[in-house]
A and B are shown apart, each in its own frame.
Chain A
Amino acid sequence: MSLVREDFREIIRLVAPGSRVLDVGCGEGELLEMLTREKQIDGQGLEISSAGVSACLARGLAVVQGDGDRDLDQFPSDAFDYAILSKTLQQMRDPRHVLSELLRIADQAVVSVPNFGHWRVRWALLARGRMPETKALPDPWWATANIHLCTLHDFIALCDDLDVRIEACAALSEGQPARPINPKHPVENWRAETALFLLSRKTSIRV
């Protein structure tokens, strides 16, 4: 049994070797360390908690103590090949701005979000009339850090709006390997608990 978070496995698979990676909300740097070891990346973390930053520094990772909501603007455009935002977009004050910033800073973004359209979520609301508490959304409403939840289709609509191309998508479920999906398929909006997207800018230049 693998102890590695299934989203980490999928991210490590997606990231090209030797690339420059910014991990927004890098925590204690587990993912950056794995990426450094397995993909020889040149990594940089952004983390809000002092404990996380200290842990990253002790691991020898480059990390800046800061807030993904506020501090992305300090990075120059195209500074990274990948910007990673794992399971935190829904906790941002301004997810739309953050998403566009990620793709300003990096050529590609790896973003994962819990799917509020998952059938268990819908069932909790429909049958019990209560806020859902699922594996992907484990906290009660009064304790959750999630303030901007969305469904798969909502997220796709935001990408369209921002002129962002979805390069790849995988459904994630705890304890199961990532499953490549077509996020636009109506069934996936019921079935995927969490979705991980590889995003890029639509580079087509409009004349």
Chain B
Amino acid sequence: MTKSVPAFPEVETKGGIWRFPADQPLRLDSGAEFAPLEMAYQTYGVLNESRSNAILVCHALTGDQHMASTHPVTGKPGWWNRVVGPGLPLDPDRYFIICANVLGGCMGSSGPASINPQTGEVYGLSFPMITIGDMARAQAMLIGALGIDTLFAVIGASMGGMQVLQWAADFPERIFSAVCIGAAPRHSAQNIAFHEVGRQAIMADPDWRGGAYVQAGVRPEKGLAVARMAAHITYLSETALQRKFGRELQSDGLSWGFNADFQVESYLRHQGASFVDRFDANSYLYITRALDYFDLASEHEGVLAKAFQLARDVRFCVLSFSSDWLYATSESRDIVRALNAAGCRASFAEIQTDKGHDAIFLEEPALDSALRGFMASAAERRGLK
């Protein structure tokens, strides 16, 4: 029997769920307060004595806290284990790396699939509407609870990158550096449109039951799978899709029917089917809504630079992917322009790749070296060994 050696070693991890008492509610952008807040998180590495080496990684829409350790539901390796590990850009021998399940998520943090302790029932649609700002505020509560005043870095890609921008706007004094990858300062009409397709697919599934599917003992798997399929197309570039699948068929000849004749169909169906095993449909509704509501400039008189005016001491790194059409390079340029206009110190690079938005999670040496260089110089300035 041969043992398969994983490409990246399993990183030692700790974690748990931080349960905030009911008298420490999360203040929401909608004006409501949410309690009791629960935040599920994993950590990698050790917090140093001066508590100056903590990094918060913010995950993307359908990600979770299992960034560099085996996913408990799917058994798959962590979603960023090619970035987090000994000798990698985020080295647990050097940093204390925290990744928390986002507010509204379904991997242990408070979300629509959580039990409302007041009723003993699943929240479902009685869960409050949330924003990217609320997500960052919940993370800030967790970071505080873990005894950390200032993060050495807050890092995120896609939706995680938006949380990074929100941190820079709302808690600039609590971060030393910030890395925003493949993100945007607002959700565009096209972004909202794709999300609406996904939400409508979920809500059109008879098993959605007006959001109360848990109580009914069913799950809107078909709708959620379609939502995932539509979204997944936006994560890939046309070139990557063509290269990967072209017009290749699943088997010899056409079926002259509606089976998955084409490999790309089969691939998307697989993406949809495997997604429903690990994700909650209402979580998907809530989080996509939070993304659609995201427009950082609107909170600052419509001027993005004003969002960053208190972040002049933060060192920023903004990265985009040349073939990403979900959050295109032009969006990252808008962020960089605003940072420069606000007098912030920013680095920006467009990574040349044909892999689209998904490049975040794929083998992309230019991303690794950019991240490595930025982190190393920031660590030096922070005086980290």
Contact = CB atoms under 8 A, between A and B. Distances in A.
Interface of A: 42, 44, 50, 53-54, 56-66, 74-76, 79
A76 B126 CA distance: 46
Interface stretch (B41-49, B79-87, B159-167, B367-375): B367-375
B38 interface: no
User: Dominant SS at the B interface?
Assistant: helix
Contacts of A50: 349-352, 366
B377 A61 contact: yes
A42 to B, nearest CB: 8
Interface residues of B, number: 27
A97 B340 CA distance: 19
B315 interface: yes
A74 B349 contact: no
Contacts of A74: 336-337, 340-341
B380 A60 contact: yes
Given A50-B350, A57-B347, A64 B340 contact: yes
Nearest to B318: A64
Contacts of B369: 54, 57-58
A76 B352 contact: no
Contacts of B342: 76
A23 B346 CA distance: 14
14 contacts: A54-B349, A57-B370, A58-B370, A62-B345, A64-B346, A65-B349, A66-B336, A66-B348, A74-B337, A74-B341, A76-B340, A76-B341, A76-B342, A79-B340
A75 B352 CA distance: 25
B373 A59 contact: yes
B264 interface: no
A129 to B, nearest CB: 43
A63 B336 CA distance: 11
A57 B343 contact: no
User: Dominant SS at the A interface?
Assistant: mixed
Interface centre among B337, B340, B345, B373 (most CB of A within 10 A): B340
B336 A64 contact: yes
B349 A57 contact: yes
B376 interface: yes
Contact of B347 (A63, A75, A76): A63
B343 A76 contact: yes
A74 B336 CA distance: 9
Contacts of B347: 56-57, 61-64
Interface of B: 315, 317, 333, 336-337, 340-343, 345-352, 366, 369-370, 372-374, 376-378, 380
Contact of B376 (A60, A62, A63, A65): A60
B372 A58 contact: yes
Contact of A54 (B317, B336, B370): B370
A60 B349 contact: no
A41 to B, nearest CB: 13
Contact of A64 (B341, B348, B380): B348
A121 to B, nearest CB: 37
Contacts of B348: 53, 63-66
B382 to A, nearest CB: 12
B315 A54 contact: no
B235 to A, nearest CB: 22
A6 B370 CA distance: 29
Contacts of A44: 345
A189 B44 CA distance: 64
Given A44-B345, A75-B340, A62 B350 contact: no
A32 to B, nearest CB: 12
A60 B89 CA distance: 13
